[in-house]
Chain A
Amino acid sequence: MGASILTARNLSKVVPSAEGELTILHELSLELNKGDSLAIVGSSGSGKSTLLGLLAGLDLPSSGEVTLAGQALSSLDEDQRARIRAEHVGFVFQSFQLLDSLNALENVMLPLELDGRKDARERATHLLERVGLGKRLTHSPRQLSGGEQQRVAIARAFAAEPDVLFADEPTGNLDSHTGERISDLLFELNKESGTTLVLVTHDERLAHRCRRLIRLEAGLMVAPLEP
């Protein structure tokens, strides 16, 4: 498999609930190579976010295994997984998730600093210029519009040159025009850096810009892979 950066083998997630055990994800497998892009679509409650969380190592599966950048995640503790995320993973969230206590520049510097890189300030400045916010480095998130905040988030996501970028409904909180421009930016940067992209979305148009697509329904993959 050589170039595969992210693999999932027979992933299941079962959580206890009032009516007994509830299966959110059932026996799901996939494999992504470097530079791939994958869209995960499905209705609310189909298990999209759960899958994303498992693939990114934010949560552990009930059974099965995720291998990210050659490391089997279930054998690692939370701090070790955090280390993997700092080195190999970037995130873009629906609600931007910038830290209000830090300014735009500091938000972008954050993953670089977590990765222990010395050129954090220069690289973060460069990235913010790249996403068109070079003049707003010291603005706090509250002083920025939704689109601008998501651009900061995208700059942050690409800052540490991740191997895999996870995007959770990146345009969900934006109007369609702004959303369009944000997804353009996302794919541009993805292409430039050769990052593997995993995208969760409702937006079929966005989903179809990805090379591969899976559709989930009640925890089962119903439309596998190729577009």
Chain B
Amino acid sequence: MARLPLLRLFSLAMRQLLRDARAGELRVLFFALLVAVAASTAIGYFGARLNGAMLLRATEFLGADLVLEGSSPARPEQIRSGTELGLDHARIVEFSSVIAADNGIQLSSIKAVNEQYPLRGELKSAGEPFGAETPGGGPKPGEAWVEARLLTALDLKVGDSIDVGMKTLRLERVLTYEPDRAGNFYSLTPRVMINLADLDATGVVQPGSRVSYRELWRAPPGSTALQTYRDLVKPGLAANQRLQDSRDGNQQIGGALGKAERYLNMASLVAVLLAGVAVALSANRFASRRFDASALLRCLGLSRREAMLLFSLQLSVLGLLASLTGAVLGWLAQFGLFYFLHDLLPADVPPGGLLPAVAGIGTGLVALAGFALPPLAALGRVPPLRVLRRDLLPIPSSTWMVYGAALFALGLIMWRLSLDLVLTFALLGGGVVAALILGGLLLLLLQSLRRLLARASLPWRLGLGQLLRHPLAAAGQSLAFGLILLSMGLIALLRGELLDTWQNQLPKDAPNYFALNILPADKEAFGARLLDVQAQSAPLYPVIPGRLISINGEPVQEIVSKDSSGDRAVQRDLSLTWAADLPQGNVLTAGTWWTAQPGDGVPGVSVEAKVAESLKLKLDDHLVFTIGGENREARVTSLRTINWDNFQPNFFMIFQPGTLKDLPTTYLTSFYLAPGHDQQIVDLSRAFPAVTILQVEALLEQLRSILAQVTLAVEYVLLFVLAAGMAVLFSGLQATLDERIRQGALLRALGAERRLLVKARRIEFGLLGAVSGLLAALGTELVTWVLYRYAFDLAWHPHPWLLLLPVIGAALIGAAGVFGTRRALNASPLTVLREG
């Protein structure tokens, strides 16, 4: 039962806090917390908003945020509920039809769109084939925008007329880019885009025609209406309807987003970690500076509980103030960054909402609790007798509690940032083990340095002596600085090499063209022509559209769950192929690749692993496909993973060679042709009018710009890590300042010149920095090995340039250390007389 009412205690706490603030005692703690919260808030906002921007980019591939697709028109209530929620709406009707012109006919893929299309991204078109692109617009009633290859095939030019069904339309522009085409390379027929208003007049779409109806939806920024709509519509989806959003719109972009998020979180984790160390150091100093006050208060009759409460209240108020200020600062910081980068980022970066600020404040308070609670608990245990005997220290908290609390706080923050328990435990556990081992090594190293330098000159012995005065503290400081350098090393790696490695997976000469619809008769000639123009080409793969209809005798519709990738795989025609060799970038995960032609039995098929998982396929399962009206059987003989990032033609189903030979087949390939060879492409499409040539440059450009955004973000985050690192450095120095001032004054009194003191400091901090750098180099290698192997799935190799870290550490910490202790250098020698 407290004898002091809480209110009185609170007012006492506030008065003490105000007085201490004036005395400047709490400034370091405030600063450390400020950095922690500002860093985590800014990074939170930056990540959330950047993520939003990237999602927007990704939505371009759909032309919308959400698409309701079906083989029959959406029901009126499905449209109504969307518009009532305030969502923007556009409509596409897509079907195949024969285009008739004076010079012949061509099967084409007709896309009828209304004025609102597209909701995300823009169409690009040109006034003549392979002419200059201009973005924006769309076909007006009476117009048709077509792909250049239709003009080639029918020998038409802009301004000519074509007939779509019963409607005559004027060729207005050459269509060069549809945002929502990228995800769907394998449409084999040339595109003709017309206005939706002309659709009825064509008379092509009749009951029973194979038509795809797509309802496009876009939510206003920050709105949750999309999710509401999704929830509303999902239960009522007809069997022939499905919802698509940007996440599953395109595998490549989805992968890039996931990786970007991980990079950002990893970097912000490091910043928060460092600021946490600074909070721990300064909280420790806060506590030890209050031992006397605590003892006195206990003497005056305050209970242990009340004494602790008093100091906890002070820290909580301080923590809240610092956290709120930090959140505002962090918010401003990200705002500034987006302002400076507005040329590089899309104009409509969504706002981040309140969540990052709240999470930032939470991070700050958790860090304060985890790192400051143990020293605070020690305050409560200061024996009152200390007023008589100053050397009495509180019984130290059990080490388990001290480190347990800090580790728990760290773990909580890590988990919030990574949302990955395995990664959190791996990093945390690895960190603790590494800290113990490295700390031990460090102590040994310092001790042997001491023996080594026993006969060294005075400044060396002074510097080293200061380091070794508290070997445990020196080891701890070195670990903390090591962590700073480690994070710098890590971020440099993330920024440079990891992104390079990633970009290298998407090589400079990644295919920038796809060629589809190559007729068997043209196969040899086309391949030879590609060689002539020195294009680097993937093999020509046969393609046969076919649909999976049953697994082990059961219809697939009854097996797969709605909206899974397996569902999408069976809802549409798959591009089936056959191959004698496992394609590049494919890795077998189960079964064996065939080495011979099939015998008389059921032929083998190799299935992509994710689709297999979704369809619950196992080796030896019996599949039936319908191909060109015929049913064909196959047996699963292997499962494969595919590298989706490499822009090679990839297939879900690969048949044993020879199996499908009797069926009508076309070939497809991808190839790289250096920029500036547009004429070769025109010639190529002239020479092979039936072949569809698709440019993937635009898609690659989009991927590259996403990479550029990620790189920028990571670089920006480095600033926060540095700020946090400086907070650690200065809060560490602050703790030893009194002693250093005394020592500096004494040496001056004994006749030491300023130069000698500066030299000793440089040696001390230079040594500390060098040792920390060595630790950091080792630690970075260890962490990257783990990250590469488990988080990013990349091959690891050593980085000799990390040996620069000790040099950087010596220079950086040497300079900062001398700067941070300049008060001790300038201390008047008179101070020695004022003591004791």
**Are A85 and B833 within 8 A (Cβ)?**
no
Among the listed A52, A82, A109, A172, which residue makes an inter-chain contact with B751, where contact means beta carbons less than 8 Å apart?
A82
What is the bound-complex CA distance between A202 and B564, given in angstroms?
A: 92
- Report B473 CB to chain A, min CB distance, Å: 12
CB of A203 within 8 A of chain B? no
Among the listed A58, A94, A100, A102, which residue makes an inter-chain contact with B749, where contact means beta carbons less than 8 Å apart?
A58
**Are A110 and B468 within 8 A (Cβ)?**
no
Interface size class of B (residues with CB under 8 A): 20 to 34
Q: Contacts A59-B828, A94-B836 hold; do A86 and B468 have CB atoms under 8 A apart?
A: no
Among the listed B466, B469, B749, B753, which residue makes an inter-chain contact with A56, where contact means beta carbons less than 8 Å apart?
B749
What is the bound-complex CA distance between A156 and B749, given in angstroms?
A: 13
**Are B749 and A114 within 8 A (Cβ)?**
no
**Are B748 and A93 within 8 A (Cβ)?**
no
Please report which residues of chain B, range 787-836, place their CB below 8 angstroms from some CB of chain A when the two chains form the complex. 828-830, 832-836
What is the bound-complex CA distance between A84 and B750, given in angstroms?
A: 10
CB of B393 within 8 A of chain A? no
Binary flags per residue of B465-492, CB closer than 8 Å to A gives 1, else 0: 1101100000000000000000000000
**Are B830 and A83 within 8 A (Cβ)?**
no
**Are A106 and B833 within 8 A (Cβ)?**
no
**Are A114 and B832 within 8 A (Cβ)?**
no
CB of A183 within 8 A of chain B? no
Chain A residues with CB under 8 A of B753: 79, 82-83
**Are A53 and B833 within 8 A (Cβ)?**
yes
Among the listed A84, A95, A109, A114, which residue makes an inter-chain contact with B835, where contact means beta carbons less than 8 Å apart?
A95
The residue among B462, B746, B752, B828 with the most chain A CB atoms within 10 A of its own CB is B752
Specify the chain B residue showing the minimal Cβ separation from A52: B833
**Are B465 and A101 within 8 A (Cβ)?**
yes
Chain A residues with CB under 8 A of B834: 49
Please report which residues of chain B, range 427-469, place their CB below 8 angstroms from some CB of chain A when the two chains form the complex. 458, 461-462, 465-466, 468-469
Among the listed B468, B754, B835, which residue makes an inter-chain contact with A101, where contact means beta carbons less than 8 Å apart?
B468
Specify the chain A residue showing the minimal Cβ separation from B459: A113
**Are B750 and A111 within 8 A (Cβ)?**
yes
Chain B residues with CB under 8 A of A114: 458, 750-752, 756
CB of A173 within 8 A of chain B? yes
Q: Contacts A99-B743, A173-B836 hold; do A53 and B830 have CB atoms under 8 A apart?
A: yes
Chain A residues with CB under 8 A of B461: 102, 106
Q: Contacts A99-B746, A101-B468 hold; do A87 and B833 have CB atoms under 8 A apart?
A: no
**Are B469 and A82 within 8 A (Cβ)?**
no
Specify the chain B residue showing the minimal Cβ separation from A112: B458
Binary flags per residue of A91-125, CB closer than 8 Å to B gives 1, else 0: 10111010111100010011101110000000000
What is the bound-complex CA distance between A89 and B832, given in angstroms?
A: 15
What is the bound-complex CA distance between A91 and B752, given in angstroms?
A: 13
Please report which residues of chain A, range 148-189, place their CB below 8 angstroms from some CB of chain B when the two chains form the complex. 156, 168, 172-173
**Are B462 and A58 within 8 A (Cβ)?**
no
- Report B732 CB to chain A, min CB distance, Å: 17
Binary flags per residue of B747-772, CB closer than 8 Å to A gives 1, else 0: 11111111110000000000000000
- Report A108 CB to chain B, min CB distance, Å: 11
**Are B833 and A58 within 8 A (Cβ)?**
yes
What is the bound-complex CA distance between A227 and B677, given in angstroms?
A: 109
CB of A78 within 8 A of chain B? yes
What is the bound-complex CA distance between A79 and B825, given in angstroms?
A: 12
Chain A residues with CB under 8 A of B746: 97, 99
Q: Contacts A82-B748, A83-B753, A102-B462 hold; do A97 and B832 have CB atoms under 8 A apart?
A: yes
- Report B466 CB to chain A, min CB distance, Å: 5
**Are A106 and B836 within 8 A (Cβ)?**
no
- Report A33 CB to chain B, min CB distance, Å: 23
The residue among B458, B462, B466, B747 with the most chain A CB atoms within 10 A of its own CB is B458
Chain A residues engaging chain B, CB cutoff 8 angstroms: 49, 52-53, 56, 58-59, 78-79, 82-87, 89, 91, 93-95, 97, 99-102, 106, 109-111, 113-115, 156, 168, 172-173
Show 6 residue pairs from A and B whose CB-CB distance is below 8 angstroms, ordered by the A residue.
Answer: A58-B832, A85-B750, A91-B750, A97-B746, A99-B465, A99-B743
Minimum-distance CB pairs A-B, first 3 = A86-B751, A101-B465, A95-B836
